[in-house]
């Protein structure tokens, strides 16, 4: 809550981040009777924080594990629990719910739920709603590994897949039975991200596009244990990737860092500038866009020693000979199998920000350069925020205020989307 000029600290804050495909969506969450039900509470919380309106439907089995009150407290809406309750929140509750849903998620989904969904046996509130809705259905199963592997369950999964139901997991891991195997509910954060992937691909303005993003500082080996690098955290590249994913693009990050991989995004790990160049050229051959957010070292040691370099007695210093690295952005062809590759570069500067950025735009065959002053203390390296200017090849210039890197990603992609149409 933020205080306004009148001192009112109750001003309503619209939850969620602009650009998040869950923001403003109506999600119906079906919860069925599994020990993993407690995780549905977190799924609900994350959906609400993302700005979705969430209606929760619980089966009797689910209410053995979690209470409707937990969901009511998070969603501020009455959960649906009894399809025969005449005093329930709606008249024909399942029909009304089904009509309002943009998407329906069942998490956790038991083996019995999959069976009822596959055969259309609408005898609980969750399957009843799933059968009544035209909204896409995503299902996150949770059960013991032997149950998941059972031919009857797998036959139901195949039937549902054929019918267009999308499965989120299950994953391998520790199960309530103490066994380790496939059957564990996907973690709530990932389930919510999978919904974003789905919604982005279903309606995002970059659906069907392939975007390659470079991220992190390259590492140029001196010997097997030492390297030359820089302060880049890779966060800017990953935030762009997440924003592009949320708009429906197929996204590849060519990355030097080990940040958590956003759901639906492919990562190609690399270390040096040369490795990055090889990977970028390969990935861009079939891509629409390259966004080069990586901080690529301009030079590398002329040769990396095979063995760890040792200090030699009496030697007060040492010199490392450096040779120039390939320019990843500049050397990537602007033609791909998709037609023209739109190239976007970054310019990390400590002085003459705009002049230097414009020079790079021309040199690298880029349509846009995102310039940031890396001396700023509230933005840039390692931070979640950034303050950038976006310059384009027609002389346009936008100075953006301090914003999250995810929002910067969307600002770049707004302009990329226009160039692609």
Note if 230 is an active site residue: yes
The partner residues of 345 in beta bridges, in order of sequence, read 292, 369
- Which residue stretch of 7-15, 56-64, 325-333, 409-417 sits at the interface with ligand CTP (rule: CB under 6 A)? 325-333
> Binding ligand CTP by CB under 6 A: which of 227, 346, 381, 406?
346
Two structure tokens written together for 414 = 């707004």
Of 265 and 296, nearer to ligand CTP (C-beta) is: 296
E strand or H helix that includes residue 43? helix 37-49
* Spatial contact of 196 and 407, defined as CB atoms under 8 Å apart: no
CB of 283: closest distance to ligand CTP in angstroms?
Answer: 14
CA angle 159, 161, 165 (to 5 degrees): 115
- Which residue stretch of 36-44, 105-113, 185-193, 326-334 sits at the interface with ligand CTP (rule: CB under 6 A)? 326-334
* Spatial contact of 375 and 348, defined as CB atoms under 8 Å apart: no
> Binding ligand CTP by CB under 6 A: which of 47, 130, 348, 379?
348
Within positions 352 to 391, which residues make up the interface with ligand CTP, using CB under 6 A?
360
Catalytic residue among 230, 352, 362, 372: 230
> Binding ligand CTP by CB under 6 A: which of 197, 294, 353, 417?
294
Of 207 and 323, nearer to ligand CTP (C-beta) is: 323
| Cα–Cα distance for residue pair 234/217, rounded to 1 Å | 7
Within positions 154 to 173, which residues make up the interface with ligand CTP, using CB under 6 A?
none
Of 22 and 270, nearer to ligand CTP (C-beta) is: 270
Integer Rg of the chain from CA: 26
- Which residue stretch of 155-163, 205-213, 293-301, 391-399 sits at the interface with ligand CTP (rule: CB under 6 A)? 293-301
- Binding of residue 215 to ligand CTP (CB under 6 A): no
Two structure tokens written together for 334 = 């602007």
170 prior amide bond cis, ω within 30: yes
- Tell me which residue of 323, 268, 261 sits closest to 298, measured CA to CA: 323
What is the number of other CB atoms lying within 10 angstroms of the CB of residue 13?
Answer: 8
- Binding of residue 409 to ligand CTP (CB under 6 A): no
> Binding ligand CTP by CB under 6 A: which of 8, 90, 298, 384?
298
- Which residue stretch of 139-147, 148-156, 261-269, 321-329 sits at the interface with ligand CTP (rule: CB under 6 A)? 321-329
E strand or H helix that includes residue 282? helix 273-284
> Binding ligand CTP by CB under 6 A: which of 50, 244, 290, 292?
292
- Binding of residue 341 to ligand CTP (CB under 6 A): no
Of 104 and 357, nearer to ligand CTP (C-beta) is: 357
Name the E strands within 118-164. Answer: 137-141
- Tell me which residue of 257, 298, 290 sits closest to 274, measured CA to CA: 298
| Cα–Cα distance for residue pair 251/262, rounded to 1 Å | 10
Determine the 3-state secondary structure of 198 from DSSP: helix
- Residues forming contacts to ligand CTP in the complex (CB under 6 A) are 214, 273, 292, 294, 296, 298, 325, 327-329, 345-348, 360
| Catalytic residue positions, numbered | 230
């Amino acid at each position: 809550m933020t205080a306004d000029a009148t001192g009112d600290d109750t001003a309503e804050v619209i939850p969620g981040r602009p650009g998040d495909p869950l923001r403003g969506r109506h999600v119906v969450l079906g919860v069925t009777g599994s020990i993993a039900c407690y995780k549905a509470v977190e799924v609900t919380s994350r959906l609400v924080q993302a700005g979705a309106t969430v209606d929760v439907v619980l089966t009797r089995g689910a209410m053995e594990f979690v209470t409707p009150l937990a969901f009511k407290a998070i969603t501020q809406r009455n959960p649906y629990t009894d399809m025969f309750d005449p005093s329930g929140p709606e008249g024909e509750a399942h029909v009304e719910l089904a009509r309002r849903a943009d998407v329906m998620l069942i998490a956790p989904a038991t083996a019995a739920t999959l069976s009822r969904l596959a055969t259309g046996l609408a005898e609980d509130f969750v399957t009843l709603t799933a059968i009544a809705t035209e909204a896409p259905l995503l299902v996150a199963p949770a059960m013991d590994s032997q149950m998941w592997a059972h031919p009857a369950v797998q036959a139901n999964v195949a039937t549902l897949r054929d019918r267009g139901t999308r499965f989120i997991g299950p994953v391998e891991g520790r199960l309530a039975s103490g066994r380790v195997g496939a059957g564990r509910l996907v973690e709530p954060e990932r389930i919510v991200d999978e919904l974003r992937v789905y919604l982005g691909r279903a309606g995002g303005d970059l659906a069907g596009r392939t975007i390659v993003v470079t991220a992190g500082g390259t590492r140029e080996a001196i010997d097997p244990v030492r390297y030359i690098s820089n302060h880049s955290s890779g966060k800017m590249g990953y935030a762009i990737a997440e924003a592009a994913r949320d708009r429906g693009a197929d996204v590849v990050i060519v990355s030097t860092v080990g940040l958590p991989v956003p759901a639906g995004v492919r990562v190609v790990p690399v270390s040096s500038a040369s490795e990055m160049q090889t990977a970028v050229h390969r990935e861009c051959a079939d891509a629409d866009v390259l966004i080069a957010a990586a901080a690529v070292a301009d030079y590398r040691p002329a040769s990396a020693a095979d063995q760890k370099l040792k200090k030699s007695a009496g030697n007060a210093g040492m010199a490392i000979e450096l040779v120039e690295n390939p320019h990843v952005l500049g050397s990537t062809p602007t033609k791909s199998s998709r037609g023209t590759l739109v190239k976007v570069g970054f310019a990390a500067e400590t002085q003459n920000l705009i002049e230097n950025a414009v020079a790079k735009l021309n040199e690298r065959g880029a349509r846009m350069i995102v310039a940031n002053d890396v001396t700023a203390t509230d933005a840039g390296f390692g931070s979640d925020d950034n303050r950038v200017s976006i310059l384009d090849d027609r002389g346009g210039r936008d100075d953006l205020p301090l914003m999250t890197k995810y929002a910067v990603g969307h600002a770049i992609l707004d302009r990329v989307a226009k160039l692609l149409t």
